[in-house]
Amino acid sequence: MHEFALRVYYEDTDLAGIVYYANYLKFIERGRTEWVREQGIDQSQMRDDEGLVFAVRRVEADYLLPARFDDDLIVRTSIEQMSGARIVLSQDVMRGTDLLFSAQVTLVALTLEGQPTRLPANIRRIVH
């Protein structure tokens, strides 16, 4: 499991002073980016050398508790499934031991023209 720490800034909140719902998607995107980097995958190099990019195909999300300005949060990312064409991740946003947000995210590989393609064998080997 990968963990990514972040702090809630004023710009992340809505009029009620809680994190605006769409910002959780930004938080988990940052967590995924750092998870991919920790796997040893350079996404810029993958795009330039192999003509492939990762794209989110599906997100199923549950908003459980609100986060507020200045909260310290942790985004936990773990792999649930992987096939030749997709990676399914579990991503949770935590404040201490409180689970605030939980999502299941499906990633796919696309060509630079936007066509779906199989995940390269080298990517499937190193992702764990």
The tens-digit pLDDT sequence of the chain (128 residues) is 999 999 999 999 999 999 999 999 999 999 999 999 998 888 898 899 888 898 999 999 999 999 999 999 999 999 999 988 889 999 999 999 999 999 999 999 999 998 999 888 888 887 76
Backbone angles phi, psi at 40, to 5 degrees: 90, 15
Give the per-residue pLDDT at 104.
Answer: 98
Alpha-helical regions (H) of 39-127: 43-45, 121-126
Give the per-residue pLDDT at 56.
Answer: 94
Give the per-residue pLDDT at 46.
Answer: 86
Residues paired with residue 117 on neighbouring β-strands, in sequence order: 109
Which amino acid, residue 51?
G
Domain 2-126: CATH architecture, name and number where available: Roll (3.10)
Core vs surface per residue 92-101: b (16+ CB within 10 A) or e: bbbbeeeebb
Catalytic residue among 14, 42, 48, 98: 14
Give the per-residue pLDDT at 85.
Answer: 85
62 as an active site residue: the answer is no
Give the per-residue pLDDT at 50.
Answer: 86
Sign (positive/negative) of CA torsion 64, 92, 86, 50? Answer: positive
Give the per-residue pLDDT at 49.
Answer: 87
